[in-house]
Structure 1
Amino acid sequence: MHHYIIKRTAYLILTLLIASIFTFVVVNATPGEPAEVLARHLYLGLEEVAPPELIAEVSGRYNLDRPLLEQYLDWMGGVLHGDLGYSILFNKPVDKLLMLYLPPTLLLTTVSMTFAVVFGLFFGICSALHQNKIPDHLIRIATIFFVSMPGFWVAVMLMLVFSIWLRLTPVAGYGGPQFIVLPAIALGLHTMASIARIMRTSMLDTMEKPFVVFAKAKGLPGRQVLLSHACKNALLPVLTVVGMSFGALLAGSVVIETIFAWPGIGSLLMKAISARDLVLIESTIMVIVLLFLLVNFAIDLLYHAIDPRITYE
């Protein structure tokens, strides 16, 4: 177990290093001069053309004219010492910005994942128990629909129906529980449908296993067989989907937060990208990658708690 944790920690560090290189290269390879975009955001209008003198001043002031290797080493050196850099756009340290914008995103992601897991397991089990019957057909059609629909379209439709037509929820904003309902549903529907489909398939396979058949033959109550034997062993594929979906939820929050004016890390990243605030973009992406890796690391450890037969050697 300890060897596995050490090995996974080493893989996590290596993955972060590769992700940092890839992120830095892609961000800096994006068409457009960062100094010019920043000059228009800081000193001019977005539609105006920045003069060469201003571009050179901004480039020199914020060290954007230095070789890319030096910029990367400076950024990574700061990250290793706990300094995520300084945002040119907001004129604040990146870590303070993340402390302000990250909690709303974690709240939205947690609520969305809870919604997806609870309803995904429920509909998946219900579909498996009513195989090839009307509830099963309806659930399968609904899950295919939600898996196929893009998140931004679902968000707009939810806003149109529940906020504009029915006036049950606010259109957008951040505040009480009523503000998080639509963003959480829009963000979690795709994951909920995926979990339901995986749980249905896993349940159908588990229900045919010898230990479930033996439990039924012993005369155990159906609920005990379902909860203690079938569901528990059918959860392993679902855990994998949950771990992989967490990254998708963090990535999808960029669009959903923009649509619903949710002040999270997604909206922060969109502002940073529009202004080509390189350090803020790179550090924000690395925080998202780190959260994704930590969640998957925790889920790997949960495998053994659910099925003790799984070893890490």
Structure 2
Amino acid sequence: MLSYVLKRLSHTLLVIVGISIVSFVFLQLSGDPVGLMLPQDATSQQIEDLRHKLGLDDPVVVQYLRFVGNALRGDLGRSLFSNEPVAALILERLPATVELAFFSMAFALVIALPIGIVSALKRGTLIDTASMVLALFGLSMPHFWLGIMMIMLFSVQLGWLPTSGRGSFAQIIMPAAAMGISMVALFARLTRSTLLEVLGQDYVRTARAKGLPEYIVIGKHALKNAMIPLVTMIGMEFGLLLGGAVIIETVFAWPGVGRLIVQAIMDRDYPVVQGAVMLLSMIFVIVNLLVDLAYGWLDPDVSLRRASK
């Protein structure tokens, strides 16, 4: 198990290094922020002086190594426009993004798990077909379109929920639902397929032959083993939620990291974009590492097989 953990940690480190290189290079190719920071009538000397002050006239390799060295010390630089520490800006917005991801995941699981379980137990019936059709309907709707439709219906027409902002439970309902609905189909179908596979195993048939109540057979024996693939998928989707909430945060004016990135991209604020991308990427990779380790804990054979490769 120890060799498996060390191997996964080494892979995680390589992924983080790769992400830092890719994000840095692509941001360098996006344009020069100096032109946006100075007035249009700025002289060439003023432009060169500002580039030198910001270190943008150094070779790309030097700029990258400086960024990595500062990041290892917890210094992600300062915003080119607000002159505030990038780390402070990101940490100020991060709780909002984590909160939105958590409620979106909770919304999806509360709906998807019962649908998947009922569909598996009622396989081939009208309930099974209707459940999967409804789940796929939610998957087919884009986040931004669903968010706009929710605002028009529940805020503009009915006046039940606020259109934007953060601070109350009512303000998180629509953003969480807009993000969570698309995951309902994924989790419901995965729960259904894995549970159907488990229900055909010998130990489930043996439990039923012993006369155990159906809720014990499903809850204690079948569902526990069916949850192993679902745990992996939940971890991956949660990581994606942290980095993929940009559109929803923009639609609902949610003050998270995604909205901060959008504004920084428009301003070509390199340090903010680099720092936010790096932090979200590291969170995504770490979450997947923890899920992978949890998978090995739930099924020890997995870690033994992967460690031997």
Alpha-carbon separation, structure 2, partners of 1:49 and 1:261: 34
Deviates more, 1:108-117 or 1:16-25: 108-117
The aligned amino acid for 2:29 is A
Code of the residue aligned with 1:198 in structure 2: it is: L
- The answer on 1:110 being equivalent to 2:102 is yes
Taking only the aligned residue pairs, the percentage that are identical comes to 38
Q: Deviations over 1:77-118 (max 9, x none)?
A: 101122111111221111111121111111111111122222
TM-score (norm 1): 0.92
How many residues were matched structurally? 305
The equivalences for 1:152-301 within 5 A come to: 152-301=144-293
- SS in structure 1 of the partner of residue 244 of structure 2: helix
TM-score normalised by structure 2 residue count: 0.93
Letter in 1 for 2:211: G
How big is the shift at 1:53? Answer: 4.8
TM-superposition CA deviations, 1:24-75 (whole Å, max 9, x none): 1111122x33221333xxxx4xxx6866455334322312222111110100
Q: Deviations over 1:169-208 (max 9, x none)?
A: 1011111111111111111111222111111111111111
Correspondence for 1:133 among 125, 134, 145: 125
Partners of 1:117 and 1:192 within 8 A in 2: yes
Bigger Cα displacement from structure 2, 216-225 vs 144-153:
144-153
Gaps of 5+ in 2: none
Q: 1:176 to 1:309 in 2, by over 3 A?
A: same
* Deviation of the 1:305 alpha carbon: 4.0
1:63 to 1:123, Cα distance in 2 relative to 1, 3 A: same
CA RMSD of aligned residues (A): 1.7
Q: 1:268 to 1:50 in 2, by over 3 A?
A: farther
Change (3 A) 1:69 1:212: same
Counterpart of 1:174, as a letter, is R
Secondary structure of the residue aligned to 1:86 is: coil
Query: CA offset at residue 143 of structure 1?
Result: 1.6
Moved over 6 A (4+): none
Partner in structure 2 of residue 37 of structure 1: 36
Aligned-pair distance for 1:309? 4.4
Question: Aligned equivalents of 1:136 and 1:55: distance in 2?
Answer: 65
Cα 1:52/1:144, change in 2 over 3 Å? farther
- Could you tell me which residue of structure 1 aligns to residue 8 of structure 2? 8
Question: In structure 2, how many angstroms separate the alpha carbons of the residues matched to 1:20 and 1:103?
Answer: 23
